Amino acid sequence: MVHSESRPNNRTAAAYAAAVARYFDMHPQNPAPRAVGQVVDLVRGDGLVAYPTDSLYALGCRLGNADGVERIRRIRNLDDSHHFTLVCSDFGQLGQFVQVNNARFRAVRAATPGSYTFILPATKEVPRRLRHPRKRTVGVRIPDHVVTQALLAALGEPLVSSSLLLPGDEEPMTQGWEIKERLDHVVDAVVDAGDCGTTPTTVVDWSDDEPVVLRRGAGDPSRFE
């Protein structure tokens, strides 16, 4: 069980730091625009949300929410070398935050949207706290999930994210109600759109000239081997 943590001091974030997380039950193929807008308002107010993707549930906050990033670190017990992922709406948005040469462009474009996370050299648009301290890289991905895409379209920027696998758990949670029960006092909202499965993304490190598959997951790794 993850225990309660201290809440942010700024007044905007504090407005959303209720004793319990808000719960949004969304249709996986036709999410209600009003509910999507309410979740996005929470994110813009520096809230931290648990939300579905095409590969596991994830924790996410807006790009400028430094406190949200630290809350994710505490919930997941992550160190400073962890690669956070910028979950982007499309390739155009992804290209603002990572450097892609012609080879990367063609390969990543062909594999997205989908269950891949790519580790690539970060541009100056990525805050320093999100870049790998030595490699100056960041994870990026474009999910193939209707609810995630609706949230990203309404937000207009990437979600800084990390897969929702809690310390000590061998398997990720797949049900929104379970996430609500366990993280009720450490996140500001839970978006439930049904079971996301237990298979994580395939992770491809393309920080050097050739891609290296770091983790075999839901995306077919053969195209990068």
Q: What is the mean pLDDT of residues 158-181?
A: 94
- Asked if residues 56 and 148 have their Cβ atoms less than 8 Å apart, the reply is no
**Confidence band for 19, pLDDT divided at 50, 70 and 90:** low
Q: Maximum distance among all alpha carbons in the chain?
A: 49
The CA-CA-CA angle for residues 2, 137, 145, to 5°, reads: 60
pLDDT in tens, 197-213: 999 999 999 999 999 99
Domains, in order of start, for the chain: 11-224 (3.90.870.10)
Distance CA 39, CA 36 (A): 5
DSSP 8-state assignment for residue 224: G
Q: What is residue 145's three-state secondary structure?
A: coil
Q: Residue 81 has what pLDDT? A: 82
The CA-CA-CA angle for residues 170, 47, 97, to 5°, reads: 80
| Of 69, 143, 88, 83, residue with least CA distance to 112 | 143
Considering the entire predicted model, what is its pTM? 0.90
pLDDT in tens, 84-125: 999 999 999 999 999 999 999 999 999 999 999 999 999 999
